[in-house]
Chain A
């Protein structure tokens, strides 16, 4: 059952990209968005993506220069297998493909690691794309990103962030997480947690533990983990293939 999947998927993806390319030359050829409104929409992306001169990869890759780029192009970022496949199948980011990905990431790329429900509102998508477009033009003209590009949800003492996790212990603890989170990093209804920078992972877990993030399942899971255990999990999931 599993073995047959990639092939089938590949075919579907190619077909849908061709459809998108065609549509991009039509209605979506012109970007109708407002970059200032887009900066506000981008708040939803900022937990995972950075833009601007200092931008780095976080949970997601930085998004400078995304227009016209091949999907999944950064060597230094661990994309999902699904994104690598889409890239090999020739997916490039233009208005049409970006619009479709942001509307429903999993519908365009089944198995993507981007755990984001999507932007159902067309205007929001156009606005955020207009905002991103600014970071795609000539590199010299890349504007400063909106301030506080990476505000932490929880202020953790440096010694907690500095704990080096025990990967073996992490492997055992992680087995409990993999009843819900997929080990291959795909998001099938529960977010992807593989290949995160350890700091983001530790911060997210402490945000649940301290009940700053509201979700009851994760509050319960994180609530009984010690700082060392959280570090161990971060170390394990960071390089899980």
Chain B
């Protein structure tokens, strides 16, 4: 989909410079948010809360129960119940007055400023926020497509896929093989696949200690690599093997019927195969015409689409610069966008954007690690200004404290999203 050139040029100037208040001709200003995840739920809550009724907020989300991808690996490892990572939208509706519509958005008419829903309804908007997360790139792992997700689950959207993957791991034969096809950059949650390997190893160590884990990876390096490799060596010696690009990690195909994977011509029989394909912005971004390639470029100061100033794109779907695609990032970006939207629609004060991110990962019981950074907006991109990462060789008390912090963060971010 190509960008409309006139709109593209028109939208580049930051609205920060001249916050023109748009008194809506039809009474209360209307904001529609598509996607009730880390970005969308946060944006809906902040706009509704801080505008104190001045803005009418509608959140479109097909599912009634949102299962966070964050901590879904801990569910695989047996550290959390699935129910503990499920959240409903009741408080957003009851306490914040957000209109929650459980449906799919299927069309965006930028000229008429309206969204059409699968159920047939049309929602007019003054500002539209897109936070649909990711979809998978067709054909990125030859032999796999979404119809194969029951034989070879991705579990990269949480809920029934997570349950399925855990059940398959529990049913593995003694000494069997769990394979993961890791994704190429950029993808949601850079440490996610490797935290998952740790959690699968933890589960197998208890129920099937001679089982093997095989990672087939198209990337040279991965997030927190030294920390993960140290942890796997210490907690799960001999269990985890990784095939990187030098040994054919880029040249892989699968056969979901036969449960085989072909790595550079060598065919392996496996018992469970977790395929995490290449990713792109959720489909609705392409439908709205705000993507350039796989992702939707945004203005770093506001999270406004570069293609259309009335549309904001948050979270995984956006191309913004240095921030990793994480729930923390999406939540951070949502607050900047919420402030910009309120500024434009009600004239409230707008401050310079601040962003940050921290991603915790659990390697084994009480062995938590983290990586994080602070960011600022430049005209070109969201740019990292400082960062930190856990160190190898840290003592057990610090790792335990780090894990406990992640529990605090989970409680914090989920109440920041859902009230």
Contact = CB atoms under 8 A, between A and B. Distances in A.
Interface of A: 1-2, 168-169, 171-173, 175-176, 178-184, 187-190, 216-217, 219-221, 223-224
Contacts of B409: 179-180, 189-190
B339 A172 contact: yes
A224 B406 CA distance: 23
Contacts of A221: 356, 374
B411 A172 contact: no
A197 to B, nearest CB: 23
B374 A179 contact: no
Given A220-B386, A221-B356, 7 more contacts: A176-B335, A180-B413, A188-B407, A188-B408, A188-B412, A216-B388, A220-B387
B52 interface: no
Nearest to A1: B88
Contacts of A182: 408, 411-412, 415
A169 B351 contact: yes
Contact of A190 (B332, B351, B354, B408): B408
Contacts of A190: 405, 408-409, 412
A180 B356 CA distance: 11
A180 B386 contact: no
B340 to A, nearest CB: 11
A176 B332 contact: yes
B412 A180 contact: yes
B63 to A, nearest CB: 16
A220 B356 contact: yes
B160 interface: no
Nearest to A187: B408
Interface string B24-54: 0000000000000000000000100010000
Interface string B88-115: 1011000000000000000000000000
B370 interface: yes
Nearest to A175: B335
Contacts of B415: 182-184
A172 B349 CA distance: 10
Contact of A176 (B356, B373, B406): B356
A189 B409 CA distance: 7
A221 B387 CA distance: 10
Nearest to A229: B354
Given A169-B351, A183-B415, A190-B412, A224 B407 contact: no
Nearest to B351: A172
Nearest to B349: A168
List the 4 shortest-distance A-B pairs measured between CB atoms, nearest first: A189-B408, A190-B408, A188-B411, A189-B407
Contacts of B412: 178-182, 188, 190
A223 B373 CA distance: 12
Given A190-B405, A220-B387, A176 B354 contact: yes
A181 to B, nearest CB: 6
A219 to B, nearest CB: 8
Contacts of A183: 415-416
A173 B408 CA distance: 20
B250 interface: no
Instruction: Report which residue of A168, A187, A189, A223 has the largest number of chain B beta carbons within 10 angstroms of its beta carbon.
Output: A189
A140 B385 CA distance: 56
B331 interface: yes
A217 B331 contact: no
Nearest to A115: B408
B380 interface: no
Contacts of B339: 172
A66 B335 CA distance: 42
Nearest to A177: B412
Contacts of A189: 404-409, 411
26 contacts: A2-B91, A168-B349, A172-B335, A173-B351, A175-B335, A176-B354, A176-B356, A178-B416, A179-B328, A179-B331, A180-B358, A180-B405, A182-B412, A183-B416, A184-B415, A188-B408, A188-B411, A190-B405, A217-B358, A219-B388, A220-B356, A220-B373, A221-B374, A223-B386, A224-B376, A224-B386
A182 B46 CA distance: 15
A224 B408 contact: no
Contacts of A173: 351, 354
Interface string B358-373: 1000000000001011
